[in-house]
Copies of this chain bind each other. A is one copy, B any other.
Amino acid sequence: MTTLSTAGQVLRCFSARRQELTVTEVAELLSLPKSNVSRLLRAMREAGFLESVPDSRGYRPGILMFELGHSYRRDSALVARAHAAVGRVSRQFGHSGYVSLRDGGDVIGLTFHEGSRMLRVGTPVGQRLPAFAAASGRSLLARLPDEEVRRLYPAPLAPPSPNAPQDMAELLARLDAVRREGFATACDESNPGVGSIAVAVGGRQPGEDACLCIVYPLSLVDGTERERMVAALLAEAREIQARPGAVAPERAGLRSAAA
Q: Which of A148-156, A186-194, A230-238, A239-247 binds B?
A: A186-194
- CB interface residues, A 1-23, toward B, < 8 Å: 2-5, 7-8, 11-12, 14-16, 19
Interface membership of A259, Cβ < 8 A: yes
Q: How many copies does the complex hold?
A: 2
Contact A72 B68 (CB under 8 A): no
Contact (A194, B4) CB under 8 Å given A55-B205, A69-B69, A71-B19? no
Partner of A203, one of B19, B54, B196: B54
Size class of the A contact interface (CB-based, 8 Å): 35 or more
Task: Tell me the smallest distance from the CB of A97 to a CB of chain B, in Å.
Answer: 9
CB-based nearest B residue for A131:
B259
Contact B4 A44 (CB under 8 A): yes
- CB interface residues, A 204-221, toward B, < 8 Å: 204-205, 208, 213, 215, 217
Question: Would you list the 9 A-B pairs with minimal beta carbon distance, nearest first?
Answer: A69-B69, A70-B126, A191-B258, A134-B259, A194-B258, A124-B257, A8-B47, A66-B72, A136-B259
Q: Which residues of A contact B (CB under 8 A)?
A: 2-5, 7-8, 11-12, 14-16, 19, 43-44, 46-49, 54-55, 60-61, 63-75, 96, 98, 100-101, 103, 107-110, 112, 114-115, 119-129, 134-137, 186, 189-191, 193-196, 198, 203-205, 208, 213, 215, 217, 251-259
